[in-house]
A and B are shown apart, each in its own frame.
Chain A
Amino acid sequence: MAVMTYREALNLALREEMRRDPDVFVIGEEVGLYEGAYKVTQGLLKEFGPKRIVDTPIAESGFTGVGIGAAMVGLRPVVEMMTFNFALLALDQIVNSAAKLNYMSGGQYNVPIVIRGPGGPAHQLAAQHSQSMEVYFYHVPGLKVVRPSTPMDAKGLLKSAIRDDNPVIFIESETLYNVKGEVSEDPDFLVPLGQAAVRREGTDVTVIAYMGMMYRAMEAAEELAKDGISVEIVDPRTLQPLDTETIIRSVRKTHRAVVVEAGAGFAGMGSEIATEITEEAFDDLDAPVARVTGAQAPMPYARSLERLKTPTKEKIADAIRQVCYANGSR
């Protein structure tokens, strides 16, 4: 184990997988000479050379398609989106090509590709650079979607994604790149896709949250512990496939659930998880499932408005109190 940042953990995962498998290469804007817009690929050009660290012009659909084509004939590309918002320019390639080829070809052409980069709210990046992009992808059969919250998961999940034989959408966060944590240095360490993690054990209420929202939920849980509310926090880590089993098991124990997501709530991840809980564990619930979501508005630039857009620790704590019927009474 070593303590490193989330950014360093991603970088290590890339290095280890590229050393292990000569078919793995990285392609994207500014990944080589510039060493990555967010420095995730720092030093890789030096170690692996321009054949395997491929700088592209600004042509998201083009270079994503190049990755998909290369994957069809057996290479294992890691495509970097400078920010995931730019993946909209490659949405057709991801949805209509990467996700569909194995199915449309009756299993002849699978697409072992990872498309990774930061997404979600950051700091005053305004409407076009702050979107929680996972919603565009987890709806599509044929895609796996990962949102790693910790440095350990960033490494272990990225390695699993690269080794997976299918397209994996791997969305990081600008706000987490500097988060430090313990990370395994074992090159065989993997975190399997499709397994949630219980971040904090508790008995009164289950909070399902990932990425920055997971950290805010942890802070809210600390505070509520002082009031005698015991919060369990489940981090799905992979949104597709979703580990509903771990979520349901937790809800059966606590009988209450709050789902938190940074993006706008309408038809969001929270809707899906709340539905799963209602369908699978309705009789176990002591209160309706609550959602805490981003406001149904584009991300504003102004700091004052930005604060209103994304769920805060206070809003999460309020929702938890609400499902515990503890508003001001405990």
Chain B
Amino acid sequence: MAKTMTQKAAPGLGLDADLARKLLRDMILIRRFEEKAAEAYALGKIGGFLHLSIGEEAVAAGATSALRPDDYAISTYREHGHCLVKGSDPRRVMAELFGRIDGLSKGKGGSMHLFDKEHNFLGGHAIVGAHLPLAAGVGFAIKYRGGDQVIVCYFGDGAVPEGEFHEALNLASLWKLPVVWICENNRYAMGTSLERALAQTEIYKFGQTYGIPCEPVDGMDVLVVRDAVARAVDRARHDKTPTLLEARTYRFRGHSMRDPAGAVYRTKEEVEREKLRDPILLFRDRALKAGVLSEDDAKKIEKDVNDLVDEAVAFAEASPEPEPSELFTDIFKEPA
């Protein structure tokens, strides 16, 4: 599973049942997990901001399938999916969203700040653009120590006008750092469309500016994402060349739960049209038609995921709130 796949996604899919099952399972896991999280939010069990990536699942699932477990990933505040498919226990992710002690960060981070050191998931960062230099720093450390890991850095189209996008891409290119930059271009930075934010809306072209391989990718096609990321990972791992991928995707929900309709800045017709390219349905249909998966396989995956997510919610509900003393722990790391 950890091996990279360098061939283009073929019409016959060219993938085995195990991989197909994993990709479908990962995407459905993100979808169900976030649907449950939205329910819990509506019930007041999750507070603050909750940003869903429903519609964008193919990017996280496809990209992660091209990584080794010891590779790193770092992301934005819309990171439930990236974290889950990197290997985090859905129960602990849900407990974090609930603000409970068994959450990944003992309930101190919440939805926007998921971290999982065991799975090399470096966070959940909620200042737009700020984690791009951190990704370059992780790439710097990998190279400094002579390792062959890579780091995948997810960010939205909203980060592209930020200075840190440009500083980080420049440094990673200048110093040849093993970073795979994945822009999840869902066309809206909150409510501001690409056209209202960028003089150059073909985001992948900024890679040309910084002299690195770059390409636009259909972010609704999990196999296309996997293929492009696998090639980028290969370059990063073997000759430390960073790559900028622009995964063109779409979020079916609002910017956050406080923007449930998302209909002010985009039309309902547009949203409904994009839903026809639902990455889960697209892949499911193709896998069934190609005979890689059966209806029973798909149903079993859905049932298993539903059970897992239900279990995650039950686990989160049962987990205690942090003790008052936790307020003052972890501000500093104390000497061992």
Q: Is the CB of B103 within 8 A of A61?
A: no
Interface size of B by Cβ–Cβ distance < 8 Å?
A: 46
Indicate if A328 sits at the interface (CB-CB under 8 A): no
Q: Is the CB of A65 within 8 A of B164?
A: yes
Chain B 96-114, CB within 8 Å of chain A: the 1/0 string? 0000000111111100010
Q: For B139, list chain A residues within 8 Å (CB).
A: 69
State the B residues within 8 Å of A (CB): 72, 74, 103-109, 113, 115-117, 122-125, 127, 130-142, 144, 163-164, 167-168, 170-171, 174, 329-335
| Contact flag A142-B331 (CB < 8 Å), given A69-B137, A108-B116 | yes
Indicate if A238 sits at the interface (CB-CB under 8 A): no
Q: For B332, list chain A residues within 8 Å (CB).
A: 102, 110, 142, 144, 165-166
Across the A-B interface, the 7 shortest Cβ-Cβ residue pairs: A69-B137, A65-B133, A62-B167, A106-B105, A69-B134, A105-B115, A110-B333
For the complex, what is the distance from the CA of A166 to the CA of B141, rounded to whole Å?
A: 17
With both beta carbons as reference points, the residue of chain A lying nearest to B336 in the complex is identified as A165
| Contact flag A96-B127 (CB < 8 Å), given A73-B72, A166-B333 | yes
With both beta carbons as reference points, the residue of chain A lying nearest to B72 in the complex is identified as A73
Indicate if A265 sits at the interface (CB-CB under 8 A): no
Q: Is the CB of B163 within 8 A of A70?
A: no
Q: Is the CB of B167 within 8 A of A109?
A: no
Point out the residue from B108, B136, B144, B329 that lies within 8 Å of A65, measured CB to CB. B136
Q: Is the CB of A109 within 8 A of B122?
A: yes
For this complex, 12 residue pairs linking A to B, each with C-beta atoms less than 8 Å apart, are A25-B144, A59-B171, A62-B170, A63-B133, A65-B131, A66-B137, A70-B144, A73-B122, A93-B130, A96-B127, A97-B130, A103-B108
Point out the residue from B116, B127, B138 that lies within 8 Å of A73, measured CB to CB. B138
| Contact flag A57-B174 (CB < 8 Å), given A72-B137, A97-B125, A101-B123 | yes
Q: For B329, list chain A residues within 8 Å (CB).
A: 107
Interface size of A by Cβ–Cβ distance < 8 Å?
A: 39
Give how many A-B residue pairs fall within 8 Å (CB-CB).
144
B331 CB to closest chain A CB (Å) equals 5
Indicate if A104 sits at the interface (CB-CB under 8 A): yes
For the complex, would chain B's binding face be called helix, strand, loop or mixed by DSSP majority?
mixed
Q: Is the CB of B171 within 8 A of A63?
A: yes
Point out the residue from A25, A64, A105, A142 that lies within 8 Å of B133, measured CB to CB. A64
Q: For A144, list chain B residues within 8 Å (CB).
A: 332
Indicate if A68 sits at the interface (CB-CB under 8 A): yes
With both beta carbons as reference points, the residue of chain B lying nearest to A60 in the complex is identified as B167
For the complex, what is the distance from the CA of A175 to the CA of B211, rounded to whole Å?
A: 43
Point out the residue from B123, B133, B168 that lies within 8 Å of A104, measured CB to CB. B123
Q: For B131, list chain A residues within 8 Å (CB).
A: 65, 97
Q: For A187, list chain B residues within 8 Å (CB).
A: none
A61 CB to closest chain B CB (Å) equals 6
Point out the residue from A62, A73, A107 that lies within 8 Å of B141, measured CB to CB. A73
Q: For B113, list chain A residues within 8 Å (CB).
A: 104-105
Point out the residue from A67, A92, A103 that lies within 8 Å of B330, measured CB to CB. A103
Q: Is the CB of B141 within 8 A of A165?
A: no
Chain A CB count within 10 A is highest, among B136, B141, B164, B171, for B141
Q: For B105, list chain A residues within 8 Å (CB).
A: 104-106, 108
Q: For B331, list chain A residues within 8 Å (CB).
A: 102-103, 141-142
With both beta carbons as reference points, the residue of chain A lying nearest to B104 in the complex is identified as A106
Point out the residue from B117, B136, B330 that lies within 8 Å of A62, measured CB to CB. B136
Q: For A64, list chain B residues within 8 Å (CB).
A: 133
For the complex, what is the distance from the CA of A105 to the CA of B113, rounded to whole Å?
A: 7
For the complex, what is the distance from the CA of A310 to the CA of B238, rounded to whole Å?
A: 56
Q: Is the CB of A69 within 8 A of B170?
A: no
Q: For B144, list chain A residues within 8 Å (CB).
A: 25, 51, 70, 75
B267 CB to closest chain A CB (Å) equals 35
Chain B CB count within 10 A is highest, among A25, A57, A96, A105, for A105
For the complex, what is the distance from the CA of A133 to the CA of B163, rounded to whole Å?
A: 23
Q: Is the CB of B103 within 8 A of A68?
A: no
For the complex, what is the distance from the CA of A134 to the CA of B131, rounded to whole Å?
A: 25
Q: Is the CB of A57 within 8 A of B170?
A: yes
Q: Is the CB of B127 within 8 A of A66?
A: no
